[in-house]
Amino acid sequence: MNPHALKKAGLGLLHRVAETGRTPLTLLVDGQPVQALAGDTVLTAILQHQAALRHNEFSGQPRAGFCLMGACQDCWVRTAQGQRLRACSTLVSPGLSVLTQAEESPL
Ligand code: FES
């Protein structure tokens, strides 16, 4: 299923099939609570709940990371305080709050 069909169906891109016994925790993604398990990356947590991480600021196309190992910079998210994080290499933590869309340009 492509990202558009997953979104329409309300499905995430990823589905957990193992390691289900880790400690559950909640983070906020764009202000909405998202359930994750300790040891998940932010990208894993987000993509279990939605079909894409963000939309490209130029093309509008859905993006879900690319390298998944901290090298390509396709998975930037930011905290409410403005700190940029690579979602693929940042582990979830209780109370973490991230925003997925790029900050508006201060032009
Ligand atoms: S997906 Fe490439 S840096 Fe995160």
The full set of domain ranges for the chain reads 3-14+23-74+81-99
Distance from residue 47's CA to the centre of ligand 1 (Å): 13
The tens place of each residue's pLDDT in the chain, 107 residues long, gives 777 787 778 789 999 999 999 999 999 999 999 999 999 999 999 999 999 999 888 999 999 999 999 999 999 999 988 999 999 999 999 999 999 986 654 44
Residue 101: what pLDDT?
Answer: 82
Distance from residue 72's CA to the centre of ligand 1 (Å): 5
Q: What is the CA radius of gyration of the chain?
A: 13
Distance from residue 20's CA to the centre of ligand 1 (Å): 24
Pairing of strands 24-29, 97-99: parallel
pTM: 0.88
Assigned architecture for domain 3-14+23-74+81-99:
Roll (3.10)
CA of 70, closest atom in ligand 1: 3
Helix (H) or strand (E) holding 76: strand 76-79
